[in-house]
Amino acid sequence: KLYSAKDEDGAPLYSGGPNYIHFNKDINPEFIEQLTSEVKRFRKGKLVWDKKNPGVTNEGLDLMVYARALVAMLNPAFEVILKKLHIKAEAIKAGEPVPKAGRKRRKIYSRVER
């Protein structure tokens, strides 16, 4: 799974289109270097991910892969989140007070007998 996530993350870095990753123009160049720190190579007849330069860290790439995994696990409703953000932005522009979202209290389940 890790390598397929790396495959997926590498393509949108340069190609544009769906899943394209947009970065601010002021992003730290070291972060981009970390994102591109690994390449696919054949080793003993198998295609593997290898570091281009042993001195370059790959934490940025690992973080991107972890973030993609987290989104896949949590499956957030981005459309709903975006809609709520637009509603809040319009209320702020109109000078209306923005109500704070109520928090649902979570039930705590314990295996400890009382």
Contacts 24+ apart (CB under 8 A), 14-18: none
pLDDT of res. 25 = 86
pLDDT of res. 66 = 92
pLDDT of res. 97 = 81
10-residue mean pLDDT profile of the chain (114 residues): values are: 55 63 87 89 89 87 90 89 91 83 69 60
pLDDT of res. 98 = 75
What residue type is assigned to position 102 of the chain? Answer: G
Category of 81 on φ-ψ map: left (φ > 0), alpha (ψ -120 to 50) or beta:
alpha
Q: In sequence order, which ranges of 1-58 are alpha helices (DSSP H)?
A: 2-10, 12-15, 29-35
